[in-house]
Amino acid sequence: MKKIIVCFFVALIFVSTWGCGLNLEKEAENLNTYTASLEFDEENHTLSGNMKVDFCNKSNSTLNELKFNIYPNAFRENSAQPVISLAKSKECYYNGESYGNIEISKVQGANTSSFEICGSDENILKVNLQSPIQPTQSTSIEMEFVITLPNISHRFGYGENTINFGNFLPTLCVFENGKWQEIEYHSNGDPFYSEVANYHITFSYPENMILASTGICLDTQIFEGIATKTISAPAVRDFAMVLSDKFSVVSKEVDGIEVKYFYHSDLNFTTSLETAVKAVATFNNLFGKYPYGELSVVEANFCIGGMEFPNLVLIGDTIDNYDSYQMVIVHEIAHQWWYGVVGNNQTSYAWLDEGLTEFSTALFYEKNAGYNLTYEQIISNANTNMQVFSKVFSDVVGKVDTSMNRNLSDFETENEYIYSTYVEGMLLFDGLKNLLSEKVLIKCLKNYFTTFAFKTVTPADMIASFEKTSSLNLEPFFNSWIQGKVVFTS
């Protein structure tokens, strides 16, 4: 998710402009495909849509039902779980409490019998099938829905400057260990888990607005004040958009990738774009080439730092320190490698992407002079913060739990989540760098990226990959961190 500046208690059409290196077109073959037609009503802040989902059963199980995560329902009135922490609530709900949801009016298909909204908090769309889907068999369903956006500076909602469509479409739950993984929304971290899929989106909106989105625009039509874009996004983990009538856009190409910066108030927009370009170039060199043709960096109404989506990142416009703003840009772009291409269950193993992304951010500053931050400063501050957190938490609570493999709901406070995933996760990789040498660690990361591109990983996958590359037994090292056995003392 966001880069948090840590202070204590704080059918698809494929085009040649999609990157090279990893074979994106090949990866897109045989993926589940979402084909949606969407229309935005600016006056009512609603999104009407119909969507076809082409699904192939790649599991070894016979399926009698399909399940979809419907994240917008977390924003409805009387939902069980707040979408934002109490500390950030007033800032995010700057006009007072506001609600959103998704109303699904129809689900149909040749093999569809019925549907229902279920889950622990009305967070799941369950589609019952007339006949079971055997392994390797396919089916298609269509659905119609209306999404209402809340007035909130969040990944999903509308603010004063931008309208953010993050995690808004119904998306298939991951089928794993013989069951559908139903994800419960939580104010901690990123309560999302998804597999790569193909998205083909047609989106209509007022022509005075500018759109940033996942994917690449294939066509734009304007009729009677309405712009309609056709967007192709093959082999991405999710689809997101941002609309604004205040955007200006600058762009620059690096390594054949067009980096776009959408901004509405950033006076340092040239420098911000340059930082984004340097980040892409740095991570291309360190880890492996970004496999897509475009990346959009968006200054948006988002009250928690920043947020990553495939091909698109949000940078919160309330960050008042420009050094911090640039650091968020770098962090969110690093997520394109760790989460976007190499995925993981962010609700169970958040440190896998957040810790590695924090470490990657530190490496950026090591490789790029001229900023007011260095790798050594970042690591030193992380060590100090971790020591202070451990001491204060122990003094107040009586003990501190720094284990890392925990579900988002298992962290009692947001600070505990931050320190155990971002800070401790970054220090784990710094320790690994000291153990292996930077050269060997970078080799491990390159092989990890190539091996697991477009897949989802577990900690065991990472450990096995690093062990294979380094020819060392690294499980004891990783386990000491994951199990919270490392002691942080001054």
- Which residues pair with residue 299 across a beta bridge? 315
- Tell me phi and psi for residue 44, to 5 degrees: -100, 0
Domain assignment present for residue 282? The answer is no
Residue 361: give its domain's CATH number: 1.10.390.10
Residue type at position 175? F
Report pTM: 0.94
466 closest CA partner among 422, 429, 419, 417: 429
261 closest CA partner among 246, 277, 245: 277
Domain assignment present for residue 57? The answer is yes
pLDDT at position 392 is 82
pLDDT at position 412 is 85
pLDDT along the chain (490 residues), means of 10: 42 38 88 98 98 97 98 96 92 96 97 96 97 97 98 97 98 97 94 97 98 98 98 98 98 98 98 98 98 98 96 96 98 98 96 98 97 96 92 77 93 90 97 98 98 97 98 98 84
**Which tokens in the block code for residue 452?**
């697991």
Q: What residue numbers bound the domain in which 182 lies?
A: 32-195
Asked which of 195, 220, 245 is the last residue of a domain, the reply is 195
In tens, the pLDDT along 321-365 reads 999 999 999 999 999 999 999 999 999 999 999 999 999 999 999
Q: How far is CA 161 from the centre of its chain?
A: 21
Asked which of 138, 163, 195 is the last residue of a domain, the reply is 195
pLDDT at position 10 is 31
Task: Encode the chain in three state secondary structure.
Answer: CCCCCCCCCCCCCCCCCCCCCCCHHHHHCCCCEEEEEEEEECCCCEEEEEEEEEEECCCCCCEEEEEEECHHHHHCCCCCCCCCCHHHHHHHCCCCCCCCEEEEEEEECCCEEEEEEECCCCCEEEEEEEEEECCCCEEEEEEEEEEECCECCCCEEECCCCEEECCCCCEECEEECCEEECCCCCCCCCCCCCCCEEEEEEEEEECCCEEEECCEEEEEEEECCEEEEEEEEEEECCCCEEEECCCEEEEEEECCEEEEEEECCCCCHHHHHHHHHHHHHHHHHHHCCCCCCEEEEEEECCCCCEEEECCEEEEECCCCCHHHHHHHHHHHHHCCCECCCEEECCCCCHHHHHHHHHHHHHHHHHHCCCCCCCHHHHHHHHHHHHHHHHHHHHHHHCCCCCCCCCCHHHCCCHHHHHHHHHHHHHHHHHHHHHHHCHHHHHHHHHHHHHHHCCCEECHHHHHHHHHHHHCCCCHHHHHHHHCCCCCCCC
Domain assignment present for residue 321? The answer is no
* Cβ contact 310:294 at 8 Å: no
Domain assignment present for residue 350? The answer is no
How many domains is the chain partitioned into structurally? 2
Asked which of 159, 177, 195 is the last residue of a domain, the reply is 195
Domain assignment present for residue 336? The answer is no
In tens, the pLDDT along 221-273 reads 999 999 999 999 999 999 999 999 999 999 999 999 999 999 999 999 999 99
pLDDT at position 413 is 86
* Cβ contact 71:192 at 8 Å: yes
pLDDT at position 450 is 97
* Cβ contact 311:328 at 8 Å: no
Residue 97: give its domain's CATH number: 2.60.40
Domain assignment present for residue 89? The answer is yes
Domain assignment present for residue 242? The answer is no
Q: How far apart are CA 290 and CA 283, in angstroms?
A: 8
Domain assignment present for residue 254? The answer is no
